[in-house]
A and B are shown apart, each in its own frame.
Chain A
Amino acid sequence: MLILSKDLYDKIVAHARADHPDEACGVLAGPAGSDRPERFIPMTNAARSPTFYEFDSTEQFGVWQEMDDRDEEPVVIYHSHTATEAYPSRTDISYANEPGAHYVLVSTRDPHDSEVRSYRILDGQVSEEPVTVVE
């Protein structure tokens, strides 16, 4: 299960809405080993595409260094799908390289209703998990 504060949940959705129709992406960092996302880090989608996202490599290095310095890890890696459901695509599965992360997908295809779902992706296997939003 993924437990998300309402504040972080709202920030992810707002980012996805702001970048629509391009895909938005980012990280929620948390203390290493805690499984608790705490810090919202929106990332640049270097692909600037409605069907693909890729972290800018230089920006990613800085963010990963900073997490390392603060003894944090990427608890959540999120991105949006802007015309399809919030379910990992084959591309998402083949590039999922953070075995410890929750992969959160937001669908912005419906202008009024944002679908937010979370997955573990390990060795090509996807398992969905419930998302609990807390105040």
Chain B
Amino acid sequence: MAIEVRIPTILRTYTDGAKQVEGTGSTLGELLADLDRKHGGLRDRLVDDGGLRRFVNVYLNDEDVRFLAGLDTPVKDGDTVTVLPAVAGGATVS
């Protein structure tokens, strides 16, 4: 058993086109580090120095990990982690 991670279209260049990949770890942060060993560069698209990137949503099962413990959220075999790019924009010129 492992943790299943669902990858959005925009990031499948890092997974050879795979919609889902598997990894291990006891926290989300460890899981992302494990994934990065197999899919180099993926972690950087999700995480920066301050933690999870602002416009990436990561869900543990059906809960946004921002409402859990972010990268410290515990994960276990059989869990599903889903990555979705946030949908955002607007007239602001930032």
Contact = CB atoms under 8 A, between A and B. Distances in A.
B87 A60 contact: yes
Interface in B38-82: 55, 57, 59, 62-64, 66, 82
B64 A54 contact: no
Contacts of A55: 86-88
B interface residue count range (under 10 / 10 to 19 / 20 to 34 / 35 or more): 20 to 34
Contacts of A99: 9-10
Contact of A97 (B59, B63, B85, B94): B85
Contacts of B66: 57
B80 to A, nearest CB: 11
Interface of A: 23, 25, 43, 47, 49-55, 57-58, 60-62, 64-65, 77, 79, 81-84, 88-92, 95-100
Given A52-B92, A53-B89, 10 more contacts: A52-B89, A53-B90, A55-B86, A57-B57, A57-B86, A61-B84, A82-B91, A95-B85, A95-B87, A99-B10
B10 A23 contact: no
Contact of B89 (A50, A60, A89): A89
A54 B87 contact: yes
A91 to B, nearest CB: 5
A49 B89 CA distance: 11
16 contacts: A25-B87, A52-B91, A53-B90, A54-B87, A60-B87, A61-B57, A61-B64, A79-B90, A81-B91, A83-B91, A89-B91, A91-B90, A91-B94, A95-B85, A97-B86, A98-B87
Contacts of A81: 90-91
B41 to A, nearest CB: 16
B93 A89 contact: yes
